Structure 1
Protein backbone atom coordinates (compact mmCIF):
# COMPACT_ATOMS: atom_id res chain seq x y z
CA UNK A 1 0.00 0.00 0.00
CA UNK A 2 1.62 3.22 -1.17
CA UNK A 3 -1.22 5.74 -1.07
CA UNK A 4 -4.70 6.09 0.38
CA UNK A 5 -7.18 7.99 -1.73
CA UNK A 6 -10.70 6.71 -1.06
CA UNK A 7 -11.79 7.04 2.57
CA UNK A 8 -15.08 6.06 4.21
CA UNK A 9 -16.01 7.49 7.60
CA UNK A 10 -18.54 6.15 10.09
CA UNK A 11 -19.95 8.36 12.85
CA UNK A 12 -19.32 11.56 10.91
CA UNK A 13 -22.21 13.46 12.52
CA UNK A 14 -20.83 13.35 16.09
CA UNK A 15 -18.65 16.02 17.68
CA UNK A 16 -15.41 14.22 16.89
CA UNK A 17 -16.69 12.79 13.62
CA UNK A 18 -17.47 16.27 12.31
CA UNK A 19 -13.92 17.43 13.09
CA UNK A 20 -12.41 14.39 11.37
CA UNK A 21 -14.66 14.87 8.34
CA UNK A 22 -13.68 18.53 8.05
CA UNK A 23 -9.99 17.66 8.32
CA UNK A 24 -10.32 15.06 5.56
CA UNK A 25 -12.14 17.50 3.29
CA UNK A 26 -9.83 20.43 4.03
CA UNK A 27 -6.80 18.32 3.18
CA UNK A 28 -8.12 17.94 -0.38
CA UNK A 29 -6.23 14.65 -0.49
CA UNK A 30 -9.09 12.15 -0.32
CA UNK A 31 -12.36 11.13 -1.89
CA UNK A 32 -14.63 10.92 1.12
CA UNK A 33 -17.68 8.71 1.61
CA UNK A 34 -19.85 9.10 4.70
CA UNK A 35 -21.50 5.97 6.06
CA UNK A 36 -24.81 6.93 7.64
CA UNK A 37 -27.39 4.86 9.48
CA UNK A 38 -30.49 4.09 7.45
CA UNK A 39 -32.59 6.04 9.96
CA UNK A 40 -30.27 9.05 10.14
CA UNK A 41 -31.41 12.49 9.05
CA UNK A 42 -27.96 14.08 9.40
CA UNK A 43 -26.81 16.27 6.52
CA UNK A 44 -23.30 16.59 5.11
CA UNK A 45 -21.38 18.80 2.65
CA UNK A 46 -22.18 18.33 -1.03
CA UNK A 47 -18.57 17.32 -1.69
CA UNK A 48 -18.98 13.96 0.08
CA UNK A 49 -20.83 10.85 -1.02
CA UNK A 50 -23.37 9.75 1.59
CA UNK A 51 -24.37 6.08 1.70
CA UNK A 52 -27.04 4.82 4.10
CA UNK A 53 -26.06 1.43 5.49
CA UNK A 54 -27.21 -1.27 7.87
CA UNK A 55 -24.37 -1.45 10.38
CA UNK A 56 -25.45 -4.95 11.42
CA UNK A 57 -25.23 -6.40 7.90
CA UNK A 58 -21.77 -7.55 6.82
CA UNK A 59 -22.90 -8.19 3.21
CA UNK A 60 -24.43 -4.69 2.98
CA UNK A 61 -21.33 -3.08 4.43
CA UNK A 62 -19.00 -5.17 2.25
CA UNK A 63 -20.76 -4.06 -0.92
CA UNK A 64 -20.59 -0.43 0.21
CA UNK A 65 -16.89 -0.58 1.07
CA UNK A 66 -15.73 -2.05 -2.24
CA UNK A 67 -13.13 0.32 -3.67
CA UNK A 68 -12.41 2.06 -0.37
CA UNK A 69 -8.78 2.27 0.71
CA UNK A 70 -9.46 3.17 4.33
CA UNK A 71 -12.27 3.23 6.86
CA UNK A 72 -12.28 5.70 9.76
CA UNK A 73 -14.67 4.99 12.61
CA UNK A 74 -15.75 7.82 14.88
CA UNK A 75 -18.79 6.12 16.38
CA UNK A 76 -19.70 7.07 19.93
CA UNK A 77 -18.71 5.20 23.07
CA UNK A 78 -22.03 3.39 23.30
CA UNK A 79 -21.58 2.04 19.77
CA UNK A 80 -18.03 0.68 20.05
CA UNK A 81 -19.21 -2.93 19.70
CA UNK A 82 -21.03 -2.12 16.46
CA UNK A 83 -17.62 -1.79 14.78
CA UNK A 84 -17.13 -5.56 14.54
CA UNK A 85 -19.36 -6.03 11.46
CA UNK A 86 -17.72 -2.95 9.95
CA UNK A 87 -14.26 -4.44 10.52
CA UNK A 88 -15.30 -7.82 9.09
CA UNK A 89 -16.77 -6.09 6.04
CA UNK A 90 -13.62 -4.01 5.59
CA UNK A 91 -11.52 -7.16 5.36
CA UNK A 92 -13.96 -8.77 2.93
CA UNK A 93 -14.06 -5.64 0.75
CA UNK A 94 -10.28 -5.35 0.52
CA UNK A 95 -9.95 -2.18 2.64
CA UNK A 96 -6.28 -1.57 3.40
CA UNK A 97 -6.48 0.52 6.57
CA UNK A 98 -8.94 0.67 9.46
CA UNK A 99 -8.85 3.37 12.15
CA UNK A 100 -11.20 2.39 14.99
CA UNK A 101 -13.02 4.75 17.29
CA UNK A 102 -10.63 5.05 20.20
CA UNK A 103 -9.31 8.61 20.42
CA UNK A 104 -8.86 8.51 24.18
CA UNK A 105 -6.51 7.43 26.97
CA UNK A 106 -3.44 5.21 26.82
CA UNK A 107 -5.27 1.91 26.97
CA UNK A 108 -1.98 0.01 26.73
CA UNK A 109 -1.20 1.28 30.22
CA UNK A 110 -1.62 -1.71 32.53
CA UNK A 111 -3.78 0.18 35.02
CA UNK A 112 -6.01 1.86 32.45
CA UNK A 113 -6.44 -1.40 30.54
CA UNK A 114 -7.93 -2.99 33.67
CA UNK A 115 -10.78 -0.44 33.80
CA UNK A 116 -14.08 -1.94 32.63
CA UNK A 117 -14.97 1.14 30.57
CA UNK A 118 -12.20 0.30 28.09
CA UNK A 119 -12.94 -3.40 27.60
CA UNK A 120 -14.98 -2.85 24.38
CA UNK A 121 -12.05 -0.96 22.83
CA UNK A 122 -9.62 -3.68 23.90
CA UNK A 123 -11.85 -6.31 22.28
CA UNK A 124 -11.73 -4.27 19.06
CA UNK A 125 -7.92 -4.06 19.31
CA UNK A 126 -7.62 -7.83 19.59
CA UNK A 127 -9.91 -8.34 16.63
CA UNK A 128 -7.87 -5.93 14.49
CA UNK A 129 -4.57 -7.52 15.51
CA UNK A 130 -5.85 -11.00 14.71
CA UNK A 131 -7.22 -10.00 11.32
CA UNK A 132 -4.03 -8.12 10.40
CA UNK A 133 -2.06 -11.30 11.08
CA UNK A 134 -4.30 -13.55 8.99
CA UNK A 135 -4.91 -10.96 6.23
CA UNK A 136 -1.59 -9.13 5.63
CA UNK A 137 -3.21 -6.70 3.17
CA UNK A 138 -5.46 -5.46 5.99
CA UNK A 139 -3.86 -3.02 8.42
CA UNK A 140 -4.95 -0.78 11.26
CA UNK A 141 -3.88 2.30 13.22
CA UNK A 142 -4.94 3.24 16.75
CA UNK A 143 -4.94 6.94 17.64
CA UNK A 144 -4.69 8.09 21.24
CA UNK A 145 -5.07 11.78 22.03
CA UNK A 146 -5.76 11.98 25.76
CA UNK A 147 -8.56 14.21 27.00
CA UNK A 148 -10.46 16.17 24.33
CA UNK A 149 -9.69 19.60 25.72
CA UNK A 150 -12.11 21.99 24.00
CA UNK A 151 -15.02 19.56 24.31
CA UNK A 152 -14.17 18.71 27.94
CA UNK A 153 -13.77 22.32 29.05
CA UNK A 154 -17.14 23.16 27.54
CA UNK A 155 -18.64 20.30 29.59
CA UNK A 156 -16.87 21.34 32.81
CA UNK A 157 -14.80 18.14 32.88
CA UNK A 158 -11.40 19.82 33.35
CA UNK A 159 -12.66 22.66 35.57
CA UNK A 160 -16.32 23.39 36.20
CA UNK A 161 -16.02 27.14 35.69
CA UNK A 162 -19.68 27.73 36.56
CA UNK A 163 -19.31 26.12 39.99
CA UNK A 164 -18.01 27.86 43.10
CA UNK A 165 -16.64 24.51 44.28
CA UNK A 166 -15.07 22.80 41.24
CA UNK A 167 -13.50 19.38 41.73
CA UNK A 168 -9.73 18.99 41.78
CA UNK A 169 -8.97 15.33 41.17
CA UNK A 170 -6.27 14.00 43.50
CA UNK A 171 -5.28 17.60 44.23
CA UNK A 172 -5.27 18.97 40.69
CA UNK A 173 -1.54 18.73 40.00
CA UNK A 174 -1.51 15.55 37.88
CA UNK A 175 -0.21 16.34 34.36
CA UNK A 176 -2.38 15.05 31.54
CA UNK A 177 -2.16 15.06 27.77
CA UNK A 178 -4.95 16.96 26.03
CA UNK A 179 -5.95 17.57 22.41
CA UNK A 180 -8.53 19.70 20.68
CA UNK A 181 -11.04 18.12 18.33
CA UNK A 182 -9.45 19.73 15.28
CA UNK A 183 -6.03 18.31 16.19
CA UNK A 184 -7.46 14.80 16.33
CA UNK A 185 -8.89 15.33 12.86
CA UNK A 186 -5.45 16.41 11.67
CA UNK A 187 -3.94 13.32 13.26
CA UNK A 188 -6.28 11.13 11.21
CA UNK A 189 -5.18 12.92 8.06
CA UNK A 190 -1.55 12.40 9.10
CA UNK A 191 -2.09 8.66 9.53
CA UNK A 192 -3.70 8.33 6.10
CA UNK A 193 -0.93 10.35 4.47
CA UNK A 194 1.71 8.09 6.04
CA UNK A 195 0.32 4.56 5.65
CA UNK A 196 3.67 2.78 5.77
CA UNK A 197 4.94 4.53 8.92
CA UNK A 198 1.64 4.09 10.76
CA UNK A 199 0.94 0.49 9.73
CA UNK A 200 -0.38 -1.67 12.61
CA UNK A 201 0.74 0.87 15.18
CA UNK A 202 -0.52 2.95 18.07
CA UNK A 203 -0.02 6.65 17.40
CA UNK A 204 0.05 9.17 20.25
CA UNK A 205 -0.75 12.84 19.83
CA UNK A 206 -1.45 15.77 22.11
CA UNK A 207 -1.68 19.54 21.85
CA UNK A 208 -0.06 20.13 25.21
CA UNK A 209 0.16 18.87 28.79
CA UNK A 210 -1.89 20.62 31.46
CA UNK A 211 -2.89 20.34 35.10
CA UNK A 212 -6.19 21.36 36.62
CA UNK A 213 -4.47 23.85 38.88
CA UNK A 214 -2.81 25.50 35.89
CA UNK A 215 -6.18 25.91 34.20
CA UNK A 216 -7.76 27.21 37.42
CA UNK A 217 -4.94 29.76 37.84
CA UNK A 218 -5.68 31.05 34.35
CA UNK A 219 -9.38 31.28 35.18
CA UNK A 220 -8.61 33.30 38.33
CA UNK A 221 -6.47 35.66 36.27
CA UNK A 222 -9.19 36.10 33.64
CA UNK A 223 -12.02 36.57 36.15
CA UNK A 224 -10.50 38.13 39.29
CA UNK A 225 -13.93 38.99 40.68
CA UNK A 226 -14.99 35.35 40.75
CA UNK A 227 -14.46 33.20 43.83
CA UNK A 228 -13.62 29.53 43.46
CA UNK A 229 -13.19 27.25 46.45
CA UNK A 230 -12.17 23.96 44.82
CA UNK A 231 -12.82 20.64 46.49
CA UNK A 232 -10.27 17.83 46.31
CA UNK A 233 -11.81 14.59 45.04
CA UNK A 234 -10.15 11.19 45.37
CA UNK A 235 -10.15 9.42 42.00
CA UNK A 236 -9.91 6.04 43.75
CA UNK A 237 -13.32 6.72 45.31
CA UNK A 238 -14.76 7.65 41.93
CA UNK A 239 -13.40 4.44 40.40
CA UNK A 240 -14.88 2.36 43.22
CA UNK A 241 -18.32 3.90 42.74
CA UNK A 242 -18.21 3.30 39.00
CA UNK A 243 -17.09 -0.29 39.45
CA UNK A 244 -19.94 -0.84 41.88
CA UNK A 245 -22.41 0.51 39.34
CA UNK A 246 -20.94 -1.72 36.61
CA UNK A 247 -21.21 -4.74 38.93
CA UNK A 248 -24.91 -3.99 39.28
CA UNK A 249 -25.33 -3.85 35.51
CA UNK A 250 -25.59 -0.06 35.35
CA UNK A 251 -23.40 0.83 32.39
CA UNK A 252 -24.11 4.41 31.33
CA UNK A 253 -22.15 7.54 30.54
CA UNK A 254 -22.78 8.70 34.10
CA UNK A 255 -21.60 5.43 35.68
CA UNK A 256 -18.52 5.42 33.43
CA UNK A 257 -17.43 8.94 34.35
CA UNK A 258 -15.51 7.89 37.45
CA UNK A 259 -13.50 5.41 35.41
CA UNK A 260 -12.68 7.99 32.74
CA UNK A 261 -11.60 10.49 35.41
CA UNK A 262 -9.44 7.83 37.03
CA UNK A 263 -7.71 7.10 33.70
CA UNK A 264 -7.07 10.80 33.06
CA UNK A 265 -6.05 11.99 36.53
CA UNK A 266 -5.10 8.92 38.55
CA UNK A 267 -1.47 8.29 39.44
CA UNK A 268 0.08 5.61 37.27
CA UNK A 269 -2.74 5.50 34.71
CA UNK A 270 -0.74 7.09 31.90
CA UNK A 271 -2.67 10.34 31.63
CA UNK A 272 0.48 12.13 30.45
CA UNK A 273 1.92 10.58 27.30
CA UNK A 274 5.65 9.94 27.49
CA UNK A 275 6.04 10.17 23.72
CA UNK A 276 3.95 11.63 20.92
CA UNK A 277 3.94 11.32 17.14
CA UNK A 278 2.93 14.91 16.35
CA UNK A 279 5.84 15.51 13.99
CA UNK A 280 5.12 12.47 11.81
CA UNK A 281 1.40 13.24 11.73
CA UNK A 282 1.84 16.94 10.99
CA UNK A 283 0.13 18.08 14.18
CA UNK A 284 1.55 21.18 15.86
CA UNK A 285 1.68 21.90 19.57
CA UNK A 286 -0.30 24.51 21.49
CA UNK A 287 1.25 27.05 23.87
CA UNK A 288 0.18 28.53 27.19
CA UNK A 289 -1.11 31.53 25.24
CA UNK A 290 -3.34 29.18 23.24
CA UNK A 291 -4.47 27.47 26.43
CA UNK A 292 -5.43 30.76 28.07
CA UNK A 293 -7.48 31.68 24.99
CA UNK A 294 -9.29 28.34 25.24
CA UNK A 295 -9.95 28.87 28.94
CA UNK A 296 -11.37 32.33 28.20
CA UNK A 297 -13.61 30.93 25.47
CA UNK A 298 -14.90 28.19 27.77
CA UNK A 299 -15.54 30.68 30.56
CA UNK A 300 -17.33 33.08 28.22
CA UNK A 301 -19.76 30.30 27.37
CA UNK A 302 -20.30 28.98 30.90
CA UNK A 303 -20.14 31.97 33.25
CA UNK A 304 -23.10 34.24 33.66
CA UNK A 305 -22.34 37.71 32.24
CA UNK A 306 -21.44 40.12 34.99
CA UNK A 307 -20.62 37.40 37.49
Structure 2
Protein backbone atom coordinates (compact mmCIF):
# COMPACT_ATOMS: atom_id res chain seq x y z
CA UNK A 1 0.00 0.00 0.00
CA UNK A 2 1.28 3.47 -0.90
CA UNK A 3 2.03 5.85 1.97
CA UNK A 4 -0.98 7.59 3.47
CA UNK A 5 -0.72 11.35 3.11
CA UNK A 6 -4.22 12.87 2.99
CA UNK A 7 -6.34 12.17 6.08
CA UNK A 8 -9.92 13.23 6.81
CA UNK A 9 -11.15 13.16 10.41
CA UNK A 10 -14.77 13.10 11.56
CA UNK A 11 -15.64 14.04 15.15
CA UNK A 12 -12.48 16.10 15.62
CA UNK A 13 -13.86 18.38 18.34
CA UNK A 14 -14.79 15.71 20.90
CA UNK A 15 -13.02 14.54 24.07
CA UNK A 16 -11.00 12.03 22.04
CA UNK A 17 -11.32 13.74 18.67
CA UNK A 18 -9.29 16.78 19.78
CA UNK A 19 -6.24 14.75 20.95
CA UNK A 20 -6.40 12.62 17.80
CA UNK A 21 -6.47 15.74 15.60
CA UNK A 22 -3.61 17.21 17.64
CA UNK A 23 -1.52 14.05 17.14
CA UNK A 24 -2.16 14.00 13.39
CA UNK A 25 -1.13 17.66 13.06
CA UNK A 26 1.86 17.35 15.40
CA UNK A 27 3.25 14.42 13.39
CA UNK A 28 3.57 16.69 10.32
CA UNK A 29 3.11 13.55 8.20
CA UNK A 30 -0.35 14.28 6.82
CA UNK A 31 -2.52 16.83 5.07
CA UNK A 32 -5.49 16.90 7.45
CA UNK A 33 -9.08 17.74 6.55
CA UNK A 34 -11.78 18.04 9.22
CA UNK A 35 -15.29 16.89 8.33
CA UNK A 36 -17.79 18.95 10.35
CA UNK A 37 -21.55 19.05 10.59
CA UNK A 38 -23.16 22.11 9.03
CA UNK A 39 -24.44 23.05 12.50
CA UNK A 40 -21.02 22.70 14.16
CA UNK A 41 -19.79 25.61 16.28
CA UNK A 42 -16.35 24.05 16.80
CA UNK A 43 -13.17 25.99 16.06
CA UNK A 44 -10.08 24.39 14.52
CA UNK A 45 -6.50 25.56 13.83
CA UNK A 46 -6.23 27.90 10.85
CA UNK A 47 -3.91 25.44 9.08
CA UNK A 48 -6.65 22.80 8.91
CA UNK A 49 -9.04 22.55 5.98
CA UNK A 50 -12.62 22.24 7.30
CA UNK A 51 -15.47 20.93 5.15
CA UNK A 52 -18.99 21.40 6.55
CA UNK A 53 -21.42 18.84 5.26
CA UNK A 54 -24.54 16.75 5.62
CA UNK A 55 -23.40 13.44 7.13
CA UNK A 56 -26.45 11.67 5.69
CA UNK A 57 -25.63 12.59 2.09
CA UNK A 58 -23.41 10.01 0.39
CA UNK A 59 -22.85 12.29 -2.67
CA UNK A 60 -21.71 15.17 -0.41
CA UNK A 61 -19.47 12.87 1.60
CA UNK A 62 -18.04 11.28 -1.56
CA UNK A 63 -17.14 14.69 -2.95
CA UNK A 64 -15.47 15.65 0.33
CA UNK A 65 -13.49 12.40 0.52
CA UNK A 66 -12.26 12.40 -3.08
CA UNK A 67 -8.47 12.54 -2.92
CA UNK A 68 -8.30 11.36 0.70
CA UNK A 69 -6.16 8.33 1.54
CA UNK A 70 -7.66 7.65 4.96
CA UNK A 71 -10.66 8.49 7.11
CA UNK A 72 -10.43 8.57 10.90
CA UNK A 73 -13.82 8.50 12.62
CA UNK A 74 -13.92 9.69 16.22
CA UNK A 75 -17.69 10.13 16.30
CA UNK A 76 -19.49 9.54 19.60
CA UNK A 77 -21.17 6.25 20.51
CA UNK A 78 -24.58 7.82 19.89
CA UNK A 79 -23.54 8.58 16.30
CA UNK A 80 -22.25 5.14 15.29
CA UNK A 81 -24.79 4.71 12.48
CA UNK A 82 -23.62 7.99 10.94
CA UNK A 83 -20.54 6.03 9.88
CA UNK A 84 -22.48 3.84 7.42
CA UNK A 85 -22.90 6.55 4.74
CA UNK A 86 -19.35 7.73 5.59
CA UNK A 87 -17.98 4.24 4.84
CA UNK A 88 -20.03 3.99 1.64
CA UNK A 89 -18.71 7.37 0.51
CA UNK A 90 -15.13 6.40 1.42
CA UNK A 91 -15.37 3.32 -0.80
CA UNK A 92 -16.81 5.36 -3.69
CA UNK A 93 -14.11 8.03 -3.28
CA UNK A 94 -11.25 5.51 -3.41
CA UNK A 95 -10.18 5.91 0.24
CA UNK A 96 -7.59 3.26 1.18
CA UNK A 97 -7.98 3.04 4.96
CA UNK A 98 -10.89 3.61 7.35
CA UNK A 99 -10.49 3.80 11.12
CA UNK A 100 -13.96 3.57 12.68
CA UNK A 101 -14.86 5.00 16.05
CA UNK A 102 -13.79 1.90 17.98
CA UNK A 103 -11.43 3.11 20.78
CA UNK A 104 -12.92 0.86 23.45
CA UNK A 105 -12.68 -2.46 25.27
CA UNK A 106 -11.71 -5.74 23.62
CA UNK A 107 -15.02 -6.33 21.88
CA UNK A 108 -13.48 -9.19 19.96
CA UNK A 109 -13.94 -11.03 23.27
CA UNK A 110 -17.24 -12.99 23.01
CA UNK A 111 -18.42 -11.95 26.50
CA UNK A 112 -17.71 -8.27 25.87
CA UNK A 113 -19.30 -8.56 22.41
CA UNK A 114 -22.54 -9.76 24.02
CA UNK A 115 -23.01 -6.43 25.84
CA UNK A 116 -25.62 -4.27 24.04
CA UNK A 117 -23.60 -1.06 24.47
CA UNK A 118 -21.12 -2.39 21.89
CA UNK A 119 -23.58 -3.76 19.35
CA UNK A 120 -23.55 -0.58 17.25
CA UNK A 121 -19.73 -0.82 16.97
CA UNK A 122 -19.95 -4.49 15.99
CA UNK A 123 -22.51 -3.63 13.31
CA UNK A 124 -19.94 -1.23 11.84
CA UNK A 125 -17.37 -4.06 11.80
CA UNK A 126 -19.69 -6.09 9.60
CA UNK A 127 -20.11 -3.20 7.18
CA UNK A 128 -16.33 -2.66 7.02
CA UNK A 129 -15.55 -6.35 6.51
CA UNK A 130 -18.10 -6.62 3.71
CA UNK A 131 -16.83 -3.50 1.95
CA UNK A 132 -13.19 -4.62 2.27
CA UNK A 133 -14.16 -8.00 0.83
CA UNK A 134 -16.02 -6.44 -2.10
CA UNK A 135 -13.49 -3.66 -2.77
CA UNK A 136 -9.83 -4.77 -2.40
CA UNK A 137 -8.56 -1.17 -2.44
CA UNK A 138 -10.53 -0.45 0.75
CA UNK A 139 -9.07 -1.52 4.12
CA UNK A 140 -9.76 -0.80 7.79
CA UNK A 141 -8.15 -0.86 11.24
CA UNK A 142 -9.92 -1.14 14.60
CA UNK A 143 -8.08 0.47 17.55
CA UNK A 144 -8.77 -0.96 21.03
CA UNK A 145 -7.33 0.79 24.07
CA UNK A 146 -9.48 0.04 27.14
CA UNK A 147 -10.80 2.91 29.27
CA UNK A 148 -9.29 6.37 28.70
CA UNK A 149 -6.82 6.61 31.59
CA UNK A 150 -6.57 10.38 32.15
CA UNK A 151 -10.20 11.10 31.20
CA UNK A 152 -11.54 8.35 33.47
CA UNK A 153 -9.36 9.50 36.37
CA UNK A 154 -10.60 13.07 35.98
CA UNK A 155 -14.23 11.94 36.09
CA UNK A 156 -13.75 9.74 39.16
CA UNK A 157 -14.39 6.51 37.30
CA UNK A 158 -11.60 4.49 38.94
CA UNK A 159 -12.11 5.96 42.42
CA UNK A 160 -14.02 8.91 43.87
CA UNK A 161 -11.83 12.01 43.85
CA UNK A 162 -13.03 13.55 47.11
CA UNK A 163 -12.48 10.56 49.36
CA UNK A 164 -15.24 8.77 51.24
CA UNK A 165 -17.06 5.79 49.79
CA UNK A 166 -15.68 4.53 46.48
CA UNK A 167 -16.73 1.49 44.42
CA UNK A 168 -14.35 -1.41 43.91
CA UNK A 169 -15.71 -3.41 40.99
CA UNK A 170 -15.49 -7.15 41.74
CA UNK A 171 -13.09 -6.39 44.57
CA UNK A 172 -10.94 -3.88 42.67
CA UNK A 173 -8.15 -6.38 42.11
CA UNK A 174 -8.70 -7.46 38.50
CA UNK A 175 -5.96 -6.09 36.18
CA UNK A 176 -7.11 -4.05 33.18
CA UNK A 177 -5.47 -2.26 30.25
CA UNK A 178 -5.89 1.51 30.05
CA UNK A 179 -4.58 4.27 27.78
CA UNK A 180 -4.39 8.08 27.84
CA UNK A 181 -6.07 10.18 25.17
CA UNK A 182 -2.68 11.42 23.90
CA UNK A 183 -1.38 7.87 23.45
CA UNK A 184 -4.53 6.92 21.53
CA UNK A 185 -3.81 9.89 19.26
CA UNK A 186 -0.27 8.59 18.73
CA UNK A 187 -1.65 5.13 17.99
CA UNK A 188 -3.81 6.59 15.20
CA UNK A 189 -0.73 8.24 13.65
CA UNK A 190 1.32 5.03 13.89
CA UNK A 191 -1.46 2.85 12.45
CA UNK A 192 -1.53 5.14 9.41
CA UNK A 193 2.27 5.03 9.19
CA UNK A 194 2.28 1.23 9.40
CA UNK A 195 -0.65 0.77 7.07
CA UNK A 196 0.42 -2.60 5.67
CA UNK A 197 0.93 -4.27 9.06
CA UNK A 198 -2.33 -2.91 10.47
CA UNK A 199 -4.66 -3.62 7.55
CA UNK A 200 -8.03 -5.29 8.15
CA UNK A 201 -7.48 -6.11 11.81
CA UNK A 202 -7.81 -4.94 15.38
CA UNK A 203 -4.80 -3.16 16.87
CA UNK A 204 -4.36 -3.19 20.65
CA UNK A 205 -2.58 -0.41 22.53
CA UNK A 206 -2.16 0.32 26.23
CA UNK A 207 -0.21 2.71 28.43
CA UNK A 208 -0.24 0.29 31.34
CA UNK A 209 -2.03 -2.53 33.13
CA UNK A 210 -3.21 -1.68 36.63
CA UNK A 211 -5.96 -2.34 39.18
CA UNK A 212 -8.33 -0.12 41.13
CA UNK A 213 -6.65 -1.23 44.35
CA UNK A 214 -3.26 -0.08 43.07
CA UNK A 215 -4.67 3.25 41.92
CA UNK A 216 -6.32 3.89 45.26
CA UNK A 217 -3.11 2.99 47.13
CA UNK A 218 -1.30 5.64 45.06
CA UNK A 219 -4.07 8.17 45.72
CA UNK A 220 -3.81 7.49 49.47
CA UNK A 221 -0.04 7.90 49.30
CA UNK A 222 -0.11 11.27 47.51
CA UNK A 223 -3.00 12.68 49.59
CA UNK A 224 -2.60 11.14 53.07
CA UNK A 225 -5.12 13.59 54.56
CA UNK A 226 -7.93 12.21 52.35
CA UNK A 227 -9.55 8.93 53.37
CA UNK A 228 -11.37 6.45 51.17
CA UNK A 229 -13.70 3.60 52.10
CA UNK A 230 -13.92 0.98 49.35
CA UNK A 231 -17.22 -0.82 48.86
CA UNK A 232 -17.49 -3.91 46.72
CA UNK A 233 -19.76 -3.63 43.67
CA UNK A 234 -20.61 -6.69 41.58
CA UNK A 235 -20.22 -6.16 37.83
CA UNK A 236 -22.56 -9.14 37.31
CA UNK A 237 -25.26 -7.21 39.19
CA UNK A 238 -24.43 -4.10 37.15
CA UNK A 239 -24.83 -6.05 33.92
CA UNK A 240 -28.19 -7.48 35.06
CA UNK A 241 -29.43 -3.99 35.92
CA UNK A 242 -28.15 -2.61 32.61
CA UNK A 243 -29.78 -5.40 30.58
CA UNK A 244 -33.10 -4.81 32.36
CA UNK A 245 -32.90 -1.11 31.50
CA UNK A 246 -31.91 -1.87 27.92
CA UNK A 247 -34.83 -4.29 27.54
CA UNK A 248 -37.16 -1.48 28.64
CA UNK A 249 -35.66 1.04 26.23
CA UNK A 250 -33.85 2.94 29.01
CA UNK A 251 -30.39 3.28 27.48
CA UNK A 252 -29.19 5.93 29.91
CA UNK A 253 -25.77 6.62 31.43
CA UNK A 254 -26.36 4.18 34.30
CA UNK A 255 -27.05 1.35 31.85
CA UNK A 256 -24.00 2.25 29.75
CA UNK A 257 -21.83 2.33 32.87
CA UNK A 258 -23.08 -1.11 33.87
CA UNK A 259 -22.02 -2.60 30.54
CA UNK A 260 -18.80 -0.59 30.47
CA UNK A 261 -17.71 -1.74 33.95
CA UNK A 262 -18.52 -5.34 33.06
CA UNK A 263 -16.28 -5.18 29.96
CA UNK A 264 -13.37 -3.64 31.88
CA UNK A 265 -13.52 -5.42 35.27
CA UNK A 266 -15.61 -8.56 34.67
CA UNK A 267 -13.87 -11.94 34.83
CA UNK A 268 -13.31 -13.34 31.34
CA UNK A 269 -14.32 -10.14 29.52
CA UNK A 270 -10.82 -9.36 28.24
CA UNK A 271 -10.21 -6.20 30.27
CA UNK A 272 -6.49 -6.99 30.39
CA UNK A 273 -5.18 -7.28 26.83
CA UNK A 274 -3.17 -10.48 26.29
CA UNK A 275 -1.25 -9.18 23.29
CA UNK A 276 -0.63 -5.56 22.37
CA UNK A 277 0.81 -3.78 19.32
CA UNK A 278 2.81 -1.18 21.27
CA UNK A 279 6.11 -2.47 19.87
CA UNK A 280 4.91 -2.26 16.26
CA UNK A 281 3.60 1.25 16.91
CA UNK A 282 6.73 2.38 18.76
CA UNK A 283 4.73 3.27 21.87
CA UNK A 284 6.47 2.51 25.17
CA UNK A 285 4.55 1.65 28.34
CA UNK A 286 4.07 4.15 31.15
CA UNK A 287 5.67 3.47 34.53
CA UNK A 288 4.27 3.43 38.07
CA UNK A 289 5.84 6.88 38.45
CA UNK A 290 3.90 8.12 35.41
CA UNK A 291 0.67 6.75 36.91
CA UNK A 292 1.43 8.44 40.23
CA UNK A 293 2.02 11.74 38.42
CA UNK A 294 -1.34 11.44 36.65
CA UNK A 295 -3.17 10.64 39.88
CA UNK A 296 -1.40 13.42 41.79
CA UNK A 297 -2.38 15.90 39.07
CA UNK A 298 -6.04 14.89 39.11
CA UNK A 299 -6.28 15.00 42.92
CA UNK A 300 -4.64 18.44 43.12
CA UNK A 301 -7.00 20.06 40.60
CA UNK A 302 -9.64 21.71 42.73
CA UNK A 303 -10.44 18.72 44.88
TM tier, smaller? over 0.9
Please report how far the alpha carbon of residue 283 of structure 1 lies from its aligned counterpart in structure 2 after TM superposition.
1.5
Please report how far the alpha carbon of residue 302 of structure 1 lies from its aligned counterpart in structure 2 after TM superposition.
5.3
The answer to whether the 8 Å contact 2:153/2:159 transfers is yes
Which residues of structure 1 form unaligned runs of 5+? none
Which residue number corresponds to residue 9 of structure 2? 9
| 1:232 lines up with 2:232 in the alignment | yes
- In 2, Cα distance between equivalents of 1:240 and 1:302: 35
SS in 2 for 1:229: strand
SS in 2 for 1:275: coil
Deviations 1:11-46 (A, max 9, x none): 000010000000000000000000000000100001
- In 2, Cα distance between equivalents of 1:198 and 1:161: 38
TM-score (norm. length: structure 2): 0.99
Which residue number corresponds to residue 31 of structure 1? 31
Which residue number corresponds to residue 61 of structure 2? 61
TM-score (norm. length: structure 1): 0.97
Please report how far the alpha carbon of residue 161 of structure 1 lies from its aligned counterpart in structure 2 after TM superposition.
1.8
- In 1, Cα distance between equivalents of 2:253 and 2:125: 22
Please report how far the alpha carbon of residue 244 of structure 1 lies from its aligned counterpart in structure 2 after TM superposition.
0.5
Matched ranges for 1:182-201 at <5 A: 182-201=182-201
Please report how far the alpha carbon of residue 158 of structure 1 lies from its aligned counterpart in structure 2 after TM superposition.
0.9
Please report how far the alpha carbon of residue 234 of structure 1 lies from its aligned counterpart in structure 2 after TM superposition.
0.4
The range that moved more, 180-189 or 155-164, is 155-164
Over 3 Å counting, the alpha-carbon distance change for 1:216 and 1:302 in structure 2 is farther
The answer to whether the 8 Å contact 1:175/1:209 transfers is yes
The answer to whether the 8 Å contact 2:94/2:138 transfers is yes
Which residues of structure 2 form unaligned runs of 5+? none
Deviations 1:261-297 (A, max 9, x none): 0000000000000011011112221000000000111
Matched ranges for 1:1-307 at <5 A: 1-301=1-301, 303=303
Structure 1 stretches of 4+ with a deviation exceeding 3 A read: none
